[in-house]
Chains A and B, each alone.
Chain A
Amino acid sequence: MDVSELVKTECKMPDKRYAGLWDSIVVDVSIKNRLLRSAALSLRLRADLPFETTALHGLTILYGPPGTGKTTLARGLAHQLAPLTTHRSARLIEINPHGLMSAEHGQSQRRVTELLTDYVPSLVDDGVPTVVLLDEVESMVVARSQASLAANPADVHRATDAVLTAIDSNASSLPHLVFVATTNFTGAIDEAFLSRADVAICVPTPDADGALAILRTTLNAMSKSFTPLAQLAGNPALERVASALAGMDGRRIRKTISEAMLGRIETVIEPGVLTIEDLLSAAQRVKQSAHITQSKSGGNNGAH
Protein backbone atom coordinates (compact mmCIF):
# COMPACT_ATOMS: atom_id res chain seq x y z
CA MET A 1 0.00 0.00 0.00
CA ASP A 2 1.32 3.44 -0.92
CA VAL A 3 1.38 5.64 2.16
CA SER A 4 -0.67 8.26 0.29
CA GLU A 5 -3.59 5.86 0.62
CA LEU A 6 -3.37 6.28 4.39
CA VAL A 7 -4.46 9.89 4.09
CA LYS A 8 -8.27 9.80 4.17
CA THR A 9 -8.75 13.51 3.75
CA GLU A 10 -6.65 16.45 2.71
CA CYS A 11 -8.68 19.60 2.48
CA LYS A 12 -8.02 23.33 2.63
CA MET A 13 -10.26 25.52 4.77
CA PRO A 14 -12.51 27.38 4.66
CA ASP A 15 -14.63 24.68 3.04
CA LYS A 16 -18.39 24.79 3.39
CA ARG A 17 -18.56 21.03 3.83
CA TYR A 18 -16.89 21.50 7.20
CA ALA A 19 -18.60 24.73 8.20
CA GLY A 20 -21.30 23.16 10.34
CA LEU A 21 -19.27 20.49 12.11
CA TRP A 22 -18.02 22.58 15.03
CA ASP A 23 -21.44 23.90 15.96
CA SER A 24 -23.13 20.54 15.43
CA ILE A 25 -21.42 19.16 18.52
CA VAL A 26 -23.11 20.21 21.73
CA VAL A 27 -20.55 20.32 24.52
CA ASP A 28 -19.66 22.75 27.23
CA VAL A 29 -18.27 25.88 25.54
CA SER A 30 -15.14 25.61 27.67
CA ILE A 31 -14.18 22.43 25.83
CA LYS A 32 -14.40 24.08 22.43
CA ASN A 33 -12.59 27.17 23.69
CA ARG A 34 -9.76 25.10 25.10
CA LEU A 35 -9.36 23.12 21.88
CA LEU A 36 -9.36 26.16 19.61
CA ARG A 37 -7.14 28.23 21.87
CA SER A 38 -4.62 25.42 22.30
CA ALA A 39 -4.29 25.08 18.53
CA ALA A 40 -3.97 28.84 18.00
CA LEU A 41 -1.46 29.19 20.82
CA SER A 42 0.61 26.28 19.56
CA LEU A 43 0.82 27.84 16.12
CA ARG A 44 1.64 31.24 17.57
CA LEU A 45 4.37 30.18 19.98
CA ARG A 46 6.04 27.53 17.88
CA ALA A 47 6.41 29.85 14.90
CA ASP A 48 8.40 32.33 16.97
CA LEU A 49 10.13 30.32 19.67
CA PRO A 50 12.31 27.20 19.57
CA PHE A 51 11.10 23.89 20.93
CA GLU A 52 13.64 24.05 23.74
CA THR A 53 11.78 27.11 25.08
CA THR A 54 8.17 26.11 24.56
CA ALA A 55 8.37 22.31 24.94
CA LEU A 56 5.30 22.26 22.73
CA HIS A 57 4.96 19.20 20.50
CA GLY A 58 1.90 20.47 18.66
CA LEU A 59 -0.12 17.50 19.97
CA THR A 60 -3.62 17.65 21.43
CA ILE A 61 -5.49 14.62 22.70
CA LEU A 62 -9.27 14.47 22.82
CA TYR A 63 -10.48 11.64 24.97
CA GLY A 64 -13.83 10.40 26.18
CA PRO A 65 -16.51 7.82 25.58
CA PRO A 66 -17.52 6.93 22.05
CA GLY A 67 -20.09 9.15 20.37
CA THR A 68 -19.29 12.35 22.25
CA GLY A 69 -18.16 14.29 19.17
CA LYS A 70 -14.40 14.11 19.49
CA THR A 71 -13.77 13.26 15.85
CA THR A 72 -16.29 15.80 14.59
CA LEU A 73 -14.75 18.54 16.70
CA ALA A 74 -11.30 17.65 15.45
CA ARG A 75 -12.55 17.71 11.85
CA GLY A 76 -14.17 21.09 12.44
CA LEU A 77 -11.11 22.60 14.12
CA ALA A 78 -9.25 23.52 10.92
CA HIS A 79 -12.29 25.40 9.64
CA GLN A 80 -12.44 27.32 12.93
CA LEU A 81 -8.72 28.08 12.76
CA ALA A 82 -8.72 29.40 9.21
CA PRO A 83 -10.12 32.89 10.01
CA LEU A 84 -7.56 33.25 12.81
CA THR A 85 -4.54 32.65 10.58
CA THR A 86 -2.50 35.27 8.82
CA HIS A 87 -3.60 34.12 5.38
CA ARG A 88 -7.14 33.10 6.44
CA SER A 89 -6.37 29.55 5.43
CA ALA A 90 -5.88 26.24 7.21
CA ARG A 91 -5.75 22.61 6.17
CA LEU A 92 -7.18 19.37 7.53
CA ILE A 93 -5.40 16.07 6.97
CA GLU A 94 -7.04 12.94 8.32
CA ILE A 95 -4.97 9.78 8.70
CA ASN A 96 -6.32 6.26 8.74
CA PRO A 97 -4.29 4.71 11.58
CA HIS A 98 -5.86 1.28 11.04
CA GLY A 99 -4.42 1.16 7.54
CA LEU A 100 -0.97 1.76 8.99
CA MET A 101 -1.13 -1.09 11.40
CA SER A 102 -2.75 -3.62 9.10
CA ALA A 103 0.29 -3.64 6.82
CA GLU A 104 2.39 -6.75 6.26
CA HIS A 105 4.45 -8.11 9.05
CA GLY A 106 7.18 -5.75 10.12
CA GLN A 107 6.19 -2.93 7.77
CA SER A 108 4.31 -0.75 10.25
CA GLN A 109 7.37 1.15 11.44
CA ARG A 110 8.50 1.93 7.93
CA ARG A 111 5.02 3.12 6.94
CA VAL A 112 4.64 5.30 10.01
CA THR A 113 8.01 6.89 9.42
CA GLU A 114 7.35 7.48 5.73
CA LEU A 115 3.88 8.86 6.38
CA LEU A 116 4.67 11.19 9.26
CA THR A 117 8.19 12.34 8.40
CA ASP A 118 8.00 12.43 4.64
CA TYR A 119 4.55 12.28 3.05
CA VAL A 120 2.62 14.52 5.45
CA PRO A 121 5.48 17.07 5.59
CA SER A 122 5.43 17.17 1.79
CA LEU A 123 1.68 17.90 1.84
CA VAL A 124 2.20 20.79 4.24
CA ASP A 125 5.31 22.13 2.56
CA ASP A 126 3.47 25.33 1.67
CA GLY A 127 3.47 26.43 5.33
CA VAL A 128 -0.33 26.62 5.65
CA PRO A 129 -1.37 25.89 9.27
CA THR A 130 -2.55 22.30 9.28
CA VAL A 131 -4.51 20.07 11.63
CA VAL A 132 -3.57 16.41 11.30
CA LEU A 133 -6.26 14.17 12.76
CA LEU A 134 -5.20 10.82 14.18
CA ASP A 135 -8.57 9.26 14.91
CA GLU A 136 -8.72 6.33 17.36
CA VAL A 137 -5.02 6.81 17.90
CA GLU A 138 -4.80 3.89 20.31
CA SER A 139 -4.35 1.67 17.24
CA MET A 140 -1.08 3.36 16.34
CA VAL A 141 0.49 4.10 19.72
CA VAL A 142 -0.32 0.98 21.66
CA ALA A 143 0.99 1.04 25.21
CA ARG A 144 4.20 -0.92 24.79
CA SER A 145 4.02 -2.32 28.26
CA GLN A 146 0.82 -4.11 27.39
CA ALA A 147 1.78 -5.52 24.00
CA SER A 148 1.20 -9.25 23.84
CA LEU A 149 3.41 -11.76 22.12
CA ALA A 150 0.53 -12.75 19.87
CA ALA A 151 0.28 -9.19 18.56
CA ASN A 152 3.89 -9.12 17.33
CA PRO A 153 5.25 -6.88 20.04
CA ALA A 154 8.44 -6.03 18.18
CA ASP A 155 6.48 -4.53 15.31
CA VAL A 156 4.14 -2.72 17.68
CA HIS A 157 7.02 -1.30 19.67
CA ARG A 158 8.80 -0.13 16.55
CA ALA A 159 5.67 1.49 15.14
CA THR A 160 5.02 3.32 18.40
CA ASP A 161 8.67 4.38 18.50
CA ALA A 162 8.29 5.70 14.97
CA VAL A 163 5.26 7.80 15.92
CA LEU A 164 7.09 9.29 18.87
CA THR A 165 10.15 10.06 16.76
CA ALA A 166 7.98 11.70 14.13
CA ILE A 167 6.15 13.82 16.71
CA ASP A 168 9.50 14.96 18.13
CA SER A 169 10.95 15.71 14.71
CA ASN A 170 7.91 17.60 13.45
CA ALA A 171 7.59 19.59 16.69
CA SER A 172 10.47 21.86 15.76
CA SER A 173 10.73 21.47 12.01
CA LEU A 174 7.03 21.99 11.25
CA PRO A 175 5.68 24.65 13.64
CA HIS A 176 2.61 25.07 11.48
CA LEU A 177 1.50 21.47 12.07
CA VAL A 178 -0.88 20.56 14.88
CA PHE A 179 -1.72 16.93 15.58
CA VAL A 180 -5.10 16.17 17.13
CA ALA A 181 -5.46 12.61 18.37
CA THR A 182 -8.76 11.16 19.49
CA THR A 183 -9.25 8.12 21.66
CA ASN A 184 -11.85 6.20 23.61
CA PHE A 185 -9.20 4.27 25.52
CA THR A 186 -6.49 6.40 27.11
CA GLY A 187 -5.38 3.39 29.12
CA ALA A 188 -4.39 1.65 25.93
CA ILE A 189 -2.13 4.46 24.76
CA ASP A 190 1.60 4.51 25.24
CA GLU A 191 2.60 6.74 28.16
CA ALA A 192 5.38 8.41 26.21
CA PHE A 193 2.81 9.56 23.64
CA LEU A 194 0.47 10.85 26.34
CA SER A 195 3.30 12.75 27.97
CA ARG A 196 4.00 14.57 24.71
CA ALA A 197 0.47 15.97 24.55
CA ASP A 198 0.44 19.75 24.99
CA VAL A 199 -3.10 19.43 26.21
CA ALA A 200 -5.50 16.54 26.86
CA ILE A 201 -9.16 17.47 26.71
CA CYS A 202 -11.91 15.26 28.03
CA VAL A 203 -15.10 15.30 25.98
CA PRO A 204 -17.64 13.78 28.35
CA THR A 205 -21.10 12.50 27.75
CA PRO A 206 -23.70 15.25 27.91
CA ASP A 207 -25.54 16.03 31.11
CA ALA A 208 -29.29 16.81 31.08
CA ASP A 209 -28.77 20.31 29.73
CA GLY A 210 -26.47 18.98 27.06
CA ALA A 211 -28.94 16.25 26.12
CA LEU A 212 -31.70 18.83 25.88
CA ALA A 213 -29.60 21.00 23.59
CA ILE A 214 -28.84 18.01 21.35
CA LEU A 215 -32.51 17.01 21.17
CA ARG A 216 -33.60 20.56 20.35
CA THR A 217 -30.88 21.07 17.74
CA THR A 218 -31.70 17.78 16.04
CA LEU A 219 -35.47 18.30 16.04
CA ASN A 220 -35.06 21.81 14.67
CA ALA A 221 -32.80 20.54 11.92
CA MET A 222 -35.32 17.82 11.05
CA SER A 223 -38.12 20.35 10.99
CA LYS A 224 -36.74 21.60 7.68
CA SER A 225 -38.37 18.51 6.18
CA PHE A 226 -41.03 17.83 8.80
CA THR A 227 -42.28 21.23 10.01
CA PRO A 228 -44.25 20.16 13.13
CA LEU A 229 -41.03 18.92 14.76
CA ALA A 230 -40.07 22.54 15.43
CA GLN A 231 -42.95 22.74 17.90
CA LEU A 232 -41.77 19.55 19.56
CA ALA A 233 -38.32 21.09 19.87
CA GLY A 234 -39.82 23.96 21.85
CA ASN A 235 -41.99 21.75 24.07
CA PRO A 236 -41.00 22.19 27.75
CA ALA A 237 -41.71 18.51 28.35
CA LEU A 238 -38.64 17.73 26.25
CA GLU A 239 -36.70 18.28 29.47
CA ARG A 240 -38.09 15.00 30.82
CA VAL A 241 -36.71 13.19 27.78
CA ALA A 242 -33.35 14.91 28.24
CA SER A 243 -33.20 13.91 31.90
CA ALA A 244 -33.83 10.33 30.92
CA LEU A 245 -30.99 10.45 28.40
CA ALA A 246 -28.44 12.34 30.49
CA GLY A 247 -25.14 10.44 30.52
CA MET A 248 -25.73 8.78 27.16
CA ASP A 249 -23.35 9.78 24.39
CA GLY A 250 -24.40 12.48 21.96
CA ARG A 251 -24.69 10.12 19.03
CA ARG A 252 -27.06 7.89 20.96
CA ILE A 253 -29.13 10.89 22.03
CA ARG A 254 -29.57 11.95 18.42
CA LYS A 255 -30.49 8.42 17.41
CA THR A 256 -33.18 8.36 20.08
CA ILE A 257 -35.30 10.57 17.83
CA SER A 258 -35.27 8.09 14.97
CA GLU A 259 -35.74 5.30 17.51
CA ALA A 260 -38.88 7.15 18.61
CA MET A 261 -40.13 7.51 15.04
CA LEU A 262 -40.00 3.78 14.41
CA GLY A 263 -42.16 3.12 17.50
CA ARG A 264 -45.41 3.59 15.57
CA ILE A 265 -46.22 3.05 11.89
CA GLU A 266 -47.86 6.50 11.88
CA THR A 267 -44.56 8.18 12.76
CA VAL A 268 -42.70 6.15 10.16
CA ILE A 269 -45.20 7.37 7.56
CA GLU A 270 -45.23 10.93 8.86
CA PRO A 271 -42.32 11.74 11.24
CA GLY A 272 -43.84 15.15 11.92
CA VAL A 273 -46.53 13.63 14.20
CA LEU A 274 -43.88 12.52 16.71
CA THR A 275 -44.91 13.22 20.35
CA ILE A 276 -43.20 13.60 23.70
CA GLU A 277 -44.61 10.22 24.71
CA ASP A 278 -42.93 8.64 21.68
CA LEU A 279 -39.64 10.18 22.76
CA LEU A 280 -40.03 9.10 26.38
CA SER A 281 -40.73 5.51 25.32
CA ALA A 282 -37.77 5.57 23.00
CA ALA A 283 -35.54 6.95 25.75
CA GLN A 284 -36.45 3.98 27.93
CA ARG A 285 -35.71 1.55 25.14
CA VAL A 286 -32.39 3.21 24.41
CA LYS A 287 -31.39 3.12 28.06
CA GLN A 288 -32.35 -0.50 28.30
CA SER A 289 -30.33 -1.53 25.26
CA ALA A 290 -27.36 0.51 26.52
CA HIS A 291 -27.57 -1.33 29.82
CA ILE A 292 -27.63 -4.70 28.03
CA THR A 293 -24.61 -3.67 25.91
CA GLN A 294 -22.66 -2.65 28.97
CA SER A 295 -23.53 -5.86 30.78
CA LYS A 296 -22.36 -8.01 27.87
CA SER A 297 -19.09 -6.09 27.56
CA GLY A 298 -18.46 -6.35 31.28
CA GLY A 299 -18.73 -2.70 32.21
CA ASN A 300 -18.36 0.80 30.91
CA ASN A 301 -15.58 1.28 28.37
CA GLY A 302 -15.61 5.02 28.79
CA ALA A 303 -12.76 7.41 29.36
CA HIS A 304 -10.27 7.26 32.21
Chain B
Amino acid sequence: MTFTSVSTPTHTIVHTATHLADVILGSIADILGTLGIDATQVFADWDRDNRAISEWIKEGSLNIVALECHQPNGVVAPIFEFPVSYTGTGEGDRKFTADRAALARYLAKLQRVPSGTVYKMFCSYNGLHSSQQGWGPATRASVAGMRSYSFGTLAAGPHASTGLRYFTK
Protein backbone atom coordinates (compact mmCIF):
# COMPACT_ATOMS: atom_id res chain seq x y z
CA MET B 1 0.00 0.00 0.00
CA THR B 2 1.34 3.46 -0.79
CA PHE B 3 0.90 6.33 1.62
CA THR B 4 1.20 9.98 0.74
CA SER B 5 2.15 12.59 3.29
CA VAL B 6 1.12 16.19 2.99
CA SER B 7 2.99 17.49 6.01
CA THR B 8 5.68 20.13 5.61
CA PRO B 9 9.15 18.67 6.02
CA THR B 10 10.93 19.72 9.20
CA HIS B 11 14.47 20.95 8.94
CA THR B 12 16.48 20.91 12.11
CA ILE B 13 19.42 22.94 13.31
CA VAL B 14 21.54 20.02 12.14
CA HIS B 15 20.55 20.75 8.55
CA THR B 16 21.31 24.43 8.95
CA ALA B 17 24.65 23.72 10.62
CA THR B 18 25.63 21.20 7.94
CA HIS B 19 24.75 23.66 5.22
CA LEU B 20 26.53 26.68 6.69
CA ALA B 21 29.66 24.75 7.72
CA ASP B 22 30.03 23.47 4.17
CA VAL B 23 29.53 26.90 2.65
CA ILE B 24 32.00 28.55 5.02
CA LEU B 25 34.74 25.97 4.51
CA GLY B 26 34.04 25.71 0.80
CA SER B 27 34.33 29.48 0.49
CA ILE B 28 37.58 29.43 2.44
CA ALA B 29 39.00 26.84 0.03
CA ASP B 30 37.88 28.96 -2.92
CA ILE B 31 39.38 32.13 -1.40
CA LEU B 32 42.73 30.45 -0.83
CA GLY B 33 42.69 29.12 -4.37
CA THR B 34 41.91 32.56 -5.74
CA LEU B 35 44.70 34.20 -3.76
CA GLY B 36 47.18 31.49 -4.70
CA ILE B 37 47.74 30.35 -1.11
CA ASP B 38 48.58 26.69 -0.52
CA ALA B 39 45.40 25.09 0.86
CA THR B 40 46.79 21.61 1.39
CA GLN B 41 46.14 21.81 5.13
CA VAL B 42 42.51 22.88 4.59
CA PHE B 43 41.96 19.69 2.63
CA ALA B 44 43.88 17.56 5.09
CA ASP B 45 41.92 18.93 8.06
CA TRP B 46 38.61 19.20 6.24
CA ASP B 47 36.64 16.63 8.21
CA ARG B 48 37.93 17.84 11.56
CA ASP B 49 37.27 21.50 10.86
CA ASN B 50 33.91 20.90 9.24
CA ARG B 51 32.79 18.88 12.23
CA ALA B 52 33.90 21.58 14.66
CA ILE B 53 32.23 24.44 12.81
CA SER B 54 29.06 22.43 12.40
CA GLU B 55 28.94 21.54 16.11
CA TRP B 56 29.41 25.14 17.19
CA ILE B 57 26.64 26.32 14.91
CA LYS B 58 24.36 23.63 16.31
CA GLU B 59 25.16 24.91 19.79
CA GLY B 60 24.58 28.48 18.73
CA SER B 61 28.04 29.34 20.06
CA LEU B 62 29.88 30.19 16.87
CA ASN B 63 30.18 33.94 16.28
CA ILE B 64 32.77 34.38 13.53
CA VAL B 65 35.05 32.18 11.43
CA ALA B 66 38.03 34.24 10.38
CA LEU B 67 40.63 33.58 7.70
CA GLU B 68 43.86 35.54 7.99
CA CYS B 69 46.47 35.77 5.26
CA HIS B 70 49.98 36.11 6.72
CA GLN B 71 52.39 37.54 4.18
CA PRO B 72 56.14 36.82 4.27
CA ASN B 73 56.84 40.46 5.23
CA GLY B 74 54.73 40.10 8.37
CA VAL B 75 51.67 41.93 7.08
CA VAL B 76 48.38 40.21 7.94
CA ALA B 77 46.08 41.00 5.03
CA PRO B 78 43.60 40.41 3.69
CA ILE B 79 41.38 39.07 6.44
CA PHE B 80 38.03 37.43 5.76
CA GLU B 81 35.32 37.08 8.35
CA PHE B 82 32.28 34.83 8.18
CA PRO B 83 29.92 36.13 10.88
CA VAL B 84 27.11 33.77 11.88
CA SER B 85 23.70 35.13 12.87
CA TYR B 86 21.13 33.00 14.58
CA THR B 87 17.60 33.64 13.49
CA GLY B 88 15.33 31.92 15.97
CA THR B 89 13.48 28.65 16.04
CA GLY B 90 13.68 27.70 12.41
CA GLU B 91 9.95 27.74 11.80
CA GLY B 92 8.41 29.14 8.67
CA ASP B 93 9.41 28.69 5.09
CA ARG B 94 12.95 29.94 5.22
CA LYS B 95 15.05 28.09 2.67
CA PHE B 96 18.62 26.94 2.29
CA THR B 97 20.48 29.38 0.11
CA ALA B 98 24.05 29.96 -0.96
CA ASP B 99 25.01 32.80 -3.24
CA ARG B 100 27.96 31.13 -4.91
CA ALA B 101 27.63 32.98 -8.18
CA ALA B 102 27.97 36.31 -6.39
CA LEU B 103 30.88 34.94 -4.36
CA ALA B 104 32.65 33.90 -7.56
CA ARG B 105 32.25 37.44 -8.96
CA TYR B 106 33.48 38.85 -5.66
CA LEU B 107 36.52 36.60 -5.58
CA ALA B 108 37.42 37.50 -9.14
CA LYS B 109 38.15 41.04 -7.94
CA LEU B 110 40.54 39.97 -5.19
CA GLN B 111 44.20 40.71 -5.63
CA ARG B 112 46.62 37.87 -5.33
CA VAL B 113 48.97 37.89 -2.38
CA PRO B 114 52.76 37.57 -2.41
CA SER B 115 54.17 34.11 -2.92
CA GLY B 116 54.84 32.42 0.40
CA THR B 117 51.73 33.83 2.09
CA VAL B 118 50.17 31.34 4.47
CA TYR B 119 46.77 31.26 6.12
CA LYS B 120 45.47 30.88 9.65
CA MET B 121 41.91 30.10 10.63
CA PHE B 122 40.21 31.32 13.82
CA CYS B 123 36.83 31.01 15.43
CA SER B 124 35.28 33.36 17.96
CA TYR B 125 32.27 32.56 20.08
CA ASN B 126 29.15 33.84 21.78
CA GLY B 127 30.05 32.68 25.26
CA LEU B 128 30.55 29.04 26.22
CA HIS B 129 31.30 26.51 23.53
CA SER B 130 32.27 22.86 23.34
CA SER B 131 35.90 21.92 22.85
CA GLN B 132 36.61 20.40 19.46
CA GLN B 133 39.60 18.34 18.39
CA GLY B 134 42.41 20.35 16.85
CA TRP B 135 41.10 23.73 18.02
CA GLY B 136 42.64 25.60 20.94
CA PRO B 137 43.04 29.11 22.31
CA ALA B 138 44.68 31.59 19.98
CA THR B 139 44.83 35.30 19.35
CA ARG B 140 43.58 36.89 16.18
CA ALA B 141 45.20 39.76 14.35
CA SER B 142 43.44 43.08 14.79
CA VAL B 143 41.37 44.54 11.97
CA ALA B 144 41.69 48.06 13.37
CA GLY B 145 42.64 50.53 10.71
CA MET B 146 41.81 48.16 7.90
CA ARG B 147 39.33 48.95 5.17
CA SER B 148 36.33 46.67 5.29
CA TYR B 149 33.93 45.56 2.61
CA SER B 150 30.79 43.58 3.19
CA PHE B 151 29.55 40.93 0.82
CA GLY B 152 26.28 40.62 2.64
CA THR B 153 24.57 37.29 3.28
CA LEU B 154 26.56 34.46 1.82
CA ALA B 155 24.35 31.56 2.87
CA ALA B 156 21.30 30.96 5.00
CA GLY B 157 19.16 28.26 6.52
CA PRO B 158 16.04 28.26 8.65
CA HIS B 159 17.99 28.72 11.89
CA ALA B 160 21.03 30.81 10.99
CA SER B 161 22.87 32.61 8.24
CA THR B 162 26.42 33.61 7.46
CA GLY B 163 27.87 36.60 5.72
CA LEU B 164 31.27 37.62 4.47
CA ARG B 165 33.39 40.64 5.34
CA TYR B 166 36.73 41.42 3.74
CA PHE B 167 39.41 43.53 5.42
CA THR B 168 42.37 44.93 3.59
CA LYS B 169 45.15 47.44 4.23
Contact = CB atoms under 8 A, between A and B. Distances in A.
A1 B3 CA distance: 10
Contacts of B4: 104
Nearest to B4: A104
A103 B1 CA distance: 9
Interface footprint category on A: under 10
Contacts of A103: 2
Contacts of A104: 2, 4
Contacts of B2: 1, 102-104
Interface of B: 2, 4
Q: Closest 5 CB pairs between A and B?
A: A102-B2, A104-B4, A103-B2, A1-B2, A104-B2
Interface of A: 1, 102-104
A249 to B, nearest CB: 29
A51 B114 CA distance: 63
A102 B4 CA distance: 11
A294 B2 CA distance: 32
5 contacts: A1-B2, A102-B2, A103-B2, A104-B2, A104-B4
A102 B2 CA distance: 7
Contacts of A1: 2
A1 B4 CA distance: 11
Nearest to A102: B2
A284 to B, nearest CB: 40
A103 B4 CA distance: 9
A111 to B, nearest CB: 11
B7 to A, nearest CB: 14
B10 to A, nearest CB: 20
Contacts of A102: 2
A245 B2 CA distance: 40
A102 to B, nearest CB: 5
A103 B2 CA distance: 7
B9 to A, nearest CB: 15
A103 to B, nearest CB: 6
Nearest to B5: A104
A104 B5 CA distance: 10
A104 B2 CA distance: 8
A76 B2 CA distance: 30
A297 to B, nearest CB: 26
A156 to B, nearest CB: 17
A104 B6 CA distance: 12
Nearest to B2: A102
A287 B4 CA distance: 43
Nearest to A99: B2
Nearest to B1: A102
